[in-house]
Structure 1
Amino acid sequence: MTLASPIARAFDVALVPLLLVACAKRQAPPTSDALTPAVVTHVVANDSDDPAIWIDTVDASRSLIVGTDKGDTTGGLYVFTLDGRIDSARTRRPMKRTNNVDIISGVVLGGARIDVAATTERGAQALRLFRLPDMTPIDGGGIRVFDGDSSRAPMGIALYKRPSDGAVFAIVGGKSGPAEGYLWQYRLVDAGNGTLRGEKVRAFGAYSGKKEIESIAVDQQLGYVYYSDETVGIRKYWADPDHAGAATQLALFATTGFVQDHEGLAIYPTSDSTGFLLASDQQGRRLQVFRREGDAGNRHAHTAIATIPVSAEETDGLDVTAHALGPRFPQGMLVMMSTDKTFHLYDWRDVARRIGVGK
């Protein structure tokens, strides 16, 4: 029997916790009952992070998925067809660490109403805007955010269109920020030269100081903005900066039941006022589902009604639509980022069955 030297034994002891940490970070494979995607996209070059769905209102089968690639200098916005292929003609790269993306329709530019994709280009400290479906840039090279403060590099983005006057706003979250006023909201206005510019209208939103705020989602019809305060919960405010209660937090929920990080958020409507709020339980490899309209008797109380295991790994961003997208997605689609550099496209009917509302 050969005895290890004291130095070797000390090295082995020191190595054990490192191995345990590595194992803890390695996510378990999907469970046997995990939701299976109908389509998995082709891979991006670096690091997929967040998707958004663009609806072609003339021919829904030609709708697109726009997804971010967080490469530091070779990232960008990838455009995918509904069968998962990359549309290289409309993909925009290289860009510097494109983080999150959102899409909105009916933005007025040059007297016309257009659809816009907005993304945070973290490495450029800017908000980037593109006209859909051609993905032409309409931001004059980028809209600076957070007054250029590099410690608050932009990550999260959600777009809101106010019903009363059609004003369009971008709500932006950074890598870090204060306990109050973490999110900055910008009104997007016509600059008069074929581009849009941003005008800051407020800073709002509580922050725990625990990790960061990345995922933001707006309920366009009910007028709420939700955001994930990672490891803490989901916060809810009014999206209209001029609302009388705009500065007041309406709810903090989902404070238990998540394995670790609260991530991607999206809303699936079943009517003008009902539906589901979906949230990525990142390390749990699952989807948490809440009633959009709130619990019975309290519209600002949101208790989880379903937990759905998924095949997508460590999902950051997700998006969902109730719009019929052809025979493969007749009741809509859920898109989830996966750490294998892809995006997973799920048939909403499969999600609905897991919630208990589908056939």
Structure 2
Amino acid sequence: MRSAAAGASVAAVLALANALANALPAAAAGEADLPAVHPRVETPALYDDAAGGKADADDPAIWRNAADPDRSLVVATAKQGGLRVYDLDARLVQSLPAPAPAHPGDAPGRFNNVDLVHGMRLAGKRADFAVTTDRGNDRLRVYRIDPAASNGPLTDVTDPAAPPVFSADQTEIDDQRTAYGLATWTDPATGRSYALVSRRERTTLALLELTPTADGRVGYRTVRTLDLPSSFRLPDGTSWSPCAEPGELPQVEGMVVDPANGTLYAGQEDVGIWRLRADLSGKPVLVDKVREYGVPATYDEASEECVAGRDPGFGGKRLTADVEGLTLVSEPGGDGYLLASSQGDDTFAAYDREVAEDNEYEGGFRVTPASAALDGSEECDGADALNQPLGRRFPHGLLVVQDGHDAPGDGDRAATNFKFVDLGEVLDALDD
């Protein structure tokens, strides 16, 4: 989901999604019965206002403490509020601020997506790291994970000489067509670790190699880039592009790499889910499309909304724009699922993890309220799953999802947070 700074674009997309949902049969519009799962716990609410430190929940990553799984952690982005670290009871363990603006009037730091790197060598020792996109400064930031550290489990080890990912200068950075979505990948053939990074309001993906320095820092270098399509040829011979504000292209945010085969899945928000090689070579394949795919629409500047035409029926049946958080559930023998947040109808779609099965759709689910005090997940931005035992609280693994509308709220203040769901319950729902 886009930030408050792009509120007009959000309104346009939601208006189009709502118009389509009202025009489609209930089952096609995502209202068909799907199994429900319920959160066990939730993190404290975050508020994207001055009193709340401009904190807005976005994307989580689960770090497993192999020595003591009960002390595993969830690292999560809070946009301008920086990073939050939670324990498995969803209690706050550490809060790290985003960087201040480079100069007065420049964009402040804004952490968008986060992922983990395991066992990378730094200063002669192997360690795990959290990597996040700092959308405000168009950079990556890297944090070493050490649960025994006295000042908190995360320590910033970003190379201060790390360059902007996409921008040539501060003026371009302030335009905020900057580092956005993120997935990490370690190539088993070379042992080198990478970050796959998308660009806000553009279709560009960049492959960045993470480069440890001699003084115990981590930088990065661009290996190559790839541009996904922004315009699509439809079966009737016409050309279609998703409706957006003038100058905006259909961006990617949610991404995940399958470490077993080096496959990258990238969610182009208003288009669908792409499958491609994590080294950005070869030809991308569109695994599934959003329902709105192919629907003609025109942006109306007066209303700041997209006015949709007749649906020609070229879209998918499982996803309602935006496609957001993507995560993998690994199972023995290469089995498992690719999970995708269908943000427009508050559902999650599950696809077969095996490329040989062409990522066949396997079902879906909703994260619904567990009680009056513990709500579900709506307009989910980010998600992460780990199919490993995590101590007494989550012995069957964990799914963490962002909730874009945490309830009950605090008066008129819009709240977001993260829900922790027993992964065993999710797998049972998908197996039924």
Matched, 1:76 2:79: no
CA distance in structure 1 between the aligned counterparts of 2:417 and 2:323, rounded to whole angstroms: 20
Listed one character per residue, the Cα deviations across residues 109-162 of structure 1 (whole Å, up to 9, x for unaligned) are 112111010011111111100000321111123542114443521110111000
User: Which amino acid is the alignment partner of residue 92 of structure 1?
Assistant: L
2:39 aligned residue: 37
Residue in structure 2 matching 1:57, options 56, 60, 66? 66
RMSD: 2.5
Q: Give 1:62 deviation, angstroms.
A: 0.4
Matched, 1:140 2:149: no
Q: Give 1:206 deviation, angstroms.
A: 1.3
Q: Does the aligned pair in 2 maintain the 1:254–1:303 contact within 8 Å?
A: no
2:344 aligned residue: 283
Specify the SS of the correspondent of 1:349: helix
Q: Give 1:63 deviation, angstroms.
A: 0.5
CA distance in structure 2 between the aligned counterparts of 1:281 and 1:235, rounded to whole angstroms: 15
1:6 aligned residue: none
1:66 aligned residue: 75
TM-score by length of 2: 0.69
Q: Does the aligned pair in 1 maintain the 2:195–2:207 contact within 8 Å?
A: yes
Q: Aligned in 2, Cα 1:143/1:330: closer, same or farther, shift over 3 Å?
A: farther
Matched, 1:352 2:424: no
Residue in structure 2 matching 1:249, options 259, 284, 290? 284
CA distance in structure 1 between the aligned counterparts of 2:393 and 2:289, rounded to whole angstroms: 32
204-213 vs 154-163, which moves further: 204-213
1:192 aligned residue: 214
User: Which amino acid is the alignment partner of residue 387 of structure 2?
Assistant: A
Residue in structure 1 matching 2:360, options 292, 295, 303? 303
Q: Select the structure that is richer in strand.
A: 1
Q: Does the aligned pair in 1 maintain the 2:98–2:111 contact within 8 Å?
A: no
Structure number with the bigger relative contact order (C-alpha 8 A, sep ≥ 6) is: 2
Aligned pairs (5 A) from 1:214-229:
214-229=253-268
CA distance in structure 1 between the aligned counterparts of 2:34 and 2:337, rounded to whole angstroms: 25
1:106 aligned residue: 119
Structure 2 regions of 5+ residues with no counterpart? 1-11, 20-29, 47-51, 100-108, 147-152, 231-240, 243-249, 291-315, 368-375, 407-415
281-290 vs 208-217, which moves further: 208-217
Specify the SS of the correspondent of 2:119: strand
Matched, 1:170 2:181: no
Specify the SS of the correspondent of 2:97: strand
Structure 1 regions of 5+ residues with no counterpart? 1-17
Q: Give 1:254 deviation, angstroms.
A: 4.0
Identity of aligned residues (%): 32
Specify the SS of the correspondent of 1:49: coil
- Number of aligned positions between the proteins: 320
TM-score by length of 1: 0.83
Q: Does the aligned pair in 1 maintain the 2:82–2:111 contact within 8 Å?
A: yes
User: Which amino acid is the alignment partner of residue 235 of structure 1?
Assistant: W
